[in-house]
Every structure is written in C-alpha cells, then in structure tokens.
Amino acid sequence: MKQIGNLAVVCARRQDVLLQVGSEKVCVHVGAGPERNTLHAAWDDDDAIQRIVHELNFGRYAAGRNGLHTAQQDCPVGRGKEKSA
C-alpha cells in the first residue's frame, strides 16, 4: 500500500490522467475519447501500482508519447480499452 501515494502524485501532475480509488481497486484513466485507456490494480498491490507508475513516467503512457500531453483537455465519460497492469 506504499505505492498508492506515489501514484497519486504522478497522476496529480498530469491533466490527461484521472485516478479513481474505490472498492479495493485503483483505476487510472489515460487520454480522452476513443484513445482513452484504463489501467487497474488492487489498491494494496504495490507491485502492480509500481508498474502503473513506471508506465506513466517512462513507458507507453509517458507524457509526450502517442499524442499524450499534459495540457488541459476534456475527458468525457466513455468506455476505454481496459488494460491490466
């Protein structure tokens, strides 16, 4: 459960990312519209959360990759492609 704080800090710095915590699950929504992806893990699974943090900082979902950016953008509620960490 130590990594959830790190995840919150990473998500707070990115306006293209939405963090949801509830029902013993952490969900991170990245991007908007049909390109929106969702990563999820159990809220107490530090290894999975650490992998999500890595993906947001350096991996597939790093700012500047695949058209992702940190500027404000509308994120309409919609169905994204769900990815498990």
Three-state DSSP class for 26?
A: strand
Residue ranges per domain, the chain? 3-74
CA distance 37 to 10: 16
pTM reported for the whole predicted model: 0.74
Question: Across residues 38-46, what is the average pLDDT?
Answer: 96
Q: For residue range 1-26, what is the model confidence (pLDDT) as tens digits?
A: 789 999 999 999 999 999 999 989 99
Helix H or strand E encompassing 18: strand 17-22
Q: For residue range 47-83, what is the model confidence (pLDDT) as tens digits?
A: 999 999 999 999 999 988 655 554 433 333 334 455 5
Strands ordered across the beta sheet of 81-84? 17-22, 25-30, 37-42, 81-84
- Contact call for residues 78 and 36 (beta carbons, < 8 A): yes
Helix H or strand E encompassing 55: helix 46-57
